[in-house]
């Protein structure tokens, strides 16, 4: 059974609404707006602004209108991060590259000479550079004829 754990806050819902209302009222006064001015800018009734400032419940749409009129809608919307695709969604969309082991491609380097890709076949039983090949072919090396 999955349990959801809420983050503890000493603030009650009612006290949070009251704080929001006091801050809205202070913002409005700093901007020299009356409640009627703010209501007109927001396209809501003066009673809605009064209820928000008293810490009473209002419709979310009306709160959004008031926040937009105050220029703070973006702050409100930033409460939750923007939705981004999960790593699995990237994988299904074909946007995520599959991880590969890092290695040199093509030629392998052995000292100052370049050795062919199939060197592992030749060197599986030991170092072929000492001349003791034990019946194995010697590794083909670039520029060995020079």
10-residue block means of pLDDT along the chain (146 residues)? Answer: 55 92 96 96 96 95 96 89 77 65 60 51 48 58 65
Cα distances (Å, whole numbers) of residue 8 to 5, 12, 23: 9, 10, 23
Q: Which residues contact 106 (CB under 8 A, 6 or more apart)?
A: 117
Domain segments of the chain as ranges: 13-77, 103-146
Taking CA atoms, 14 is separated from 7, 50, 114, in Å, by 17, 16, 76
CATH code for the domain defined by 13-77: 1.10.260.40
Q: Which pTM does this prediction carry?
A: 0.52
Provide the sign of the torsion angle of the four alpha carbons 134, 140, 143, 146, taken in this order: positive
For position 2, what pLDDT does the model report?
45
**CB of 68 closer than 8 Å to CB of 41:** no
Reported as type and span, the H/E element at residue 113 is strand 113-115
- The pLDDT, as a whole number, for residue 89 is 76
Pull the structure tokens for residue 146.
């020079």
């Amino acid at each position: 059974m999955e349990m959801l754990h809420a983050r503890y806050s000493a603030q009650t819902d009612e006290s949070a609404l009251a704080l929001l209302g006091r801050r809205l009222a202070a913002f409005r006064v700093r901007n020299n707006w009356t409640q009627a001015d703010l209501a007109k800018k927001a396209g809501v009734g003066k009673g809605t602004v009064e209820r928000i400032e008293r810490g009473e419940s209002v419709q979310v749409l009306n709160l959004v209108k008031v926040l937009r009129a105050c220029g703070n809608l973006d702050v409100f919307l930033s409460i939750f991060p923007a939705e981004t695709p999960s790593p699995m969604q990237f994988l299904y969309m074909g946007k995520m590259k599959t991880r590969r082991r890092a290695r040199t491609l093509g030629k392998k380097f052995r000292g100052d000479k370049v050795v062919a890709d199939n060197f592992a076949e030749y060197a599986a039983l030991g170092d072929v550079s000492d001349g003791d090949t034990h019946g194995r072919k010697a590794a083909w090396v670039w520029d060995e004829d020079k």
